[in-house]
Structure 1
């Protein structure tokens, strides 16, 4: 049996405060303190600049284990640590300064819903972005902006508006508290604005292996494959958590139409449970097999080709699809306890349904 990358003590600390965090709509102080103490928000940043630079398969397994414990904690860690990965593409001195920030946390959004107008040796930023998970504890924010000069969009070689990523300190940002979803409530994934703020050009960066400023296989890994496997681990972890709780819920129900025996002992229900678990195990195994192999090649200096990157994305989506099938199949057997808003299984179901709505994970 594979050992969990998350200690039982840390699992208990996170789970113990999950319900209160959900009710408060932000991670509990104990959860926040643990995230910082373990260095999870630095785990993808370059070691030479103050990060942990963990191997990607280790990161994905940790994120899955966190999601199997509490979706909001896992989602916040994944999105903020993912933004921390951008340090490998930043001006090294700027990245070093950012990572030296006490309790550093980078939050952000990938949608290009703002503008960066050329202004001397920098850019003047104006825009609004949605869904910055972990916004209340962010020390810095990242975002994509459309580049302009003299009010006119700068164009790329294909004649399309040029888009560039930026990182700015939280002092330039105004959080717009509008995260009112049914699930992942404790991620506090609020919108944020930057209005008429100037930043030096070094605050802009390009997310591309060819533009990496740090050495190491993490920064040669294709961004989309990276994004798919980390998001899939979150959704699948939440899905597995639901399945674990569903088994307990079904075990407590009686089959009122066939003698009143335990519902879980009926052949039809056992078949449903076995099918759901088998589907999850198969999809999980296929994803990790390819991820481990691909990472070994990347760590040895080989580039990750388009074919392998596309296969990783496909297997990640296969894992998400298997999770959706398992959750949707088992839900009707769980009874009214699962419909109670204050029950753990209901919270996990809400988190799963919300996380699986991420734009990249559209079926």
Structure 2
């Protein structure tokens, strides 16, 4: 399997990722060669500020790389996206703390966005307790991010609307206990396990707020809205997996014959048209997605804030790409035969990864 010549992945890196994808899936964690590549290329720091030791790459470049990796191995693309995304939070930390964290050898940030724990005010910091699910790349994480309900005297602190106040935190892995829990059929090598913290104290500087107004780094990356960034990075992963599936589906279909018409499947006009239509629809949705992304990034890089209509366009373009990806995978799968249902086949792994990744709550069709 080869990627287009425009792929941001070099041929050598592509071969390395692909070679170990099946072994990683069977082992239920990224192969050491894949992990080493993530660190050697600095990809896990590509969204962290340059001032803290990160690469601070332009968002369109990041998204295209994430799609390219996911188009070779869904699990590796997912870990890259979620862990590099957590590295983006360094742009909202105190600069000295951000430098210490991003400067950690083989740094990798994992975490979860659900506020399923609490942080009790204590002295000049907080004592954190709780359990959080779905921390992709958990076994290789050096730090974990989380959201927690703030408390004082055992009672939740409330905001101006009477709702519990929630704050984001970043804690060292030494204060975290991983809870093996990832049993999904797909993205098995992402090792997206749960984790818990039992009464661990952190200084107040480990808490942060995510908004352009609270960014401590100056670059446009940290003025790009959080949810817009989440939509484009997740959609790119799903699109990469769908592209991979379609590349593997074509030879599967070519090997099959129509049971009634006694023709090779690709000589059946309806089947040939279906494959062509799904490839074209996916390509069109992808082109529109990148057009919207590139224009939104250009606006932010020029110093403008994305308005509600701009953010809606990013979300709509992302979900349209996910919808085209779902249609391609789901409608082509029945023509791929029992080989595609065999758990050890590459196309089955891609099918499983796709249907796991596309369950993310942000990717609901409405």
Fold shared by both chains (TM-score > 0.5)? yes
The corresponding residue for 1:29 is 32
Which whole-Å CA distance do the structure 1 matches of 2:344 and 2:229 have between them?
34
* Counterpart selection for 2:12 from 1, 9, 14: 9
| Range with bigger deviation, 239-248 or 37-46 | 239-248
Q: How does 1:129-140 map to 2 (within 5 A)?
A: 129-140=132-143
Shift of 1:255: 2.2
Q: Which of 145, 166, 179 is the aligned partner of 1:163? A: 166
Map Cα deviations across residues 94-128 of structure 1 (whole Å, 9 max, x no partner): 10000110000000000000000000110000000
- Mapping for residues 37-116 of structure 1, pairs under 5 Å: 37-116=40-119
After TM superposition, what 4+ stretches of structure 1 lie above 6 angstroms from structure 2?
none
Matched residues in 2 for 1:130 and 1:61: separation?
A: 27
2:361 aligned residue (353, 359, 363): 359
In the aligned structure 2, how far is the partner of 1:91 from the partner of 1:303?
A: 23
Aligned partner of residue 57 in structure 1, secondary structure: helix
Deviation at 1:261, TM superposition (A): 2.8
Gaps of 5+ in 1: none
Task: Choose 260-269 or 243-252, whichever is displaced more.
Answer: 260-269
Match of 1:289 among 291, 294, 302: 291
Scaled by the length of structure 2, the TM-score of the pair is 0.98
Separation of aligned partners in 1, 2:219 and 2:160: 29
Task: Give matches, 1:174-253, under 5 Å.
Answer: 174-253=177-256
Between the aligned partners of 1:208 and 1:28, the Cα distance in structure 2 is 35
Aligned to 2:259: 256
After TM superposition, give the deviation of residue 314 of structure 1 in Å: 1.1
Superposed CA deviations along residues 124-147 of structure 1, whole A, max 9, x for unmatched, are 000000000000000000000000
CA RMSD of aligned residues (A): 0.9
Q: 2:277 corresponds to which residue? A: 275
* Separation of aligned partners in 2, 1:248 and 1:46: 43
Q: Once the two structures are superposed, what CA deviation does each residue of 1:272-310 show, in whole Å capped at 9, x if it has no partner?
A: 001111110111111100111111111111112221011
- Aligned residue for 2:335? 333
* Aligned-partner SS, 2:170: strand
Residue 256 of structure 1: how far off its partner (Å): 2.9
Partner SS, residue 69 of structure 1: coil
Q: Summarize deviations over 1:56-95 as a string: whole Å, max 9, x none.
A: 0000000000111000000000000000000000111110
Rounded to whole Å, the distance in 2 between the matches of 1:223 and 1:2 is 31
Matched, 1:266 2:263: no
1:2 Cα deviation from its structure 2 partner? 6.2
Structure 1 position 152, deviation (Å): 1.2
Separation in 1, partners of 2:199, 2:211:
28
Residues in 2 aligned to 1:28 and 1:130: alpha-carbon distance in whole angstroms: 22
User: Which among 312, 315, 320 is matched to residue 318 of structure 1?
Assistant: 320
Secondary structure of 2:18's aligned partner: helix
How many residues matched?
362
Alignment partner, residue 298 of structure 1: 300
2:5 and 2:255 map into 1 onto residues whose CA distance is 29
SS state at 2:71 partner: helix
